[in-house]
Amino acid sequence: MSDMDKTHSAHPSPRKYLMVASALVVLTAIEVGIFYIESLGKGIIPILFILSAFKFALVGMFYMHLRYDSRLFSIFFITGLVLASLVTLALMTLFGMFN
């Protein structure tokens, strides 16, 4: 069966959804926790981005079922995401945020 013809395969069980929710709560708690570690300095930026990206991926893959659905849906979403990220980076560069 081609990827384009693929109907969506089995979705996670409620138990898995609860596990994902627990992971999201823990990650958020970690984000808030490290916010109070001033000594991290600018090092907090990549840490927070990685944690947020992980949360983003968990919601996208499991809650929005991208992991189980047609790859075309992922293409639509990720294309928008990539364009959005590039535009954001371009604006930040234009305004000298990285100087």
Partner 1 sequence: MANLNTTHSEHEEHTTTGLNNRKMLMWAFLGSDCMFFAALIATYVIYSGQIVGGGPVPEDVFSIPVTSVSTFVLLMSSMSMVLAYSALVRGQIKNFQIWILSTAFLGMTFIGFQVFEFRDFVLHGLTPKTNLFGSTFFVLTGFHGAHVTLGIIWLLSLYFFSLRGGVTPERHLDVDLAALYWHFVDVVWIVIFTVVYLLGVFPGI
Binding site for partner 1 (CB under 8 A): 4-14, 17-18, 20-21, 24-25, 28, 31-32, 35, 37-42, 44-45, 48-49, 51-52, 55-56, 59-60, 62-64, 70, 72-73, 76-81, 83-85, 87-88, 91-92, 94-95, 97
Nearest distance, CB of residue 17 and partner 1, angstroms: 5
Angstrom CA distances, 66 to 20, 34, 52, stand at 14, 30, 18
Nearest distance, CB of residue 86 and partner 1, angstroms: 9
Phi and psi, residue 18, nearest 5°: -65, -35
Nearest distance, CB of residue 7 and partner 1, angstroms: 4
d(CA 50, CA 52): 5
Structure tokens that stand for 26 in this block: 């823990």
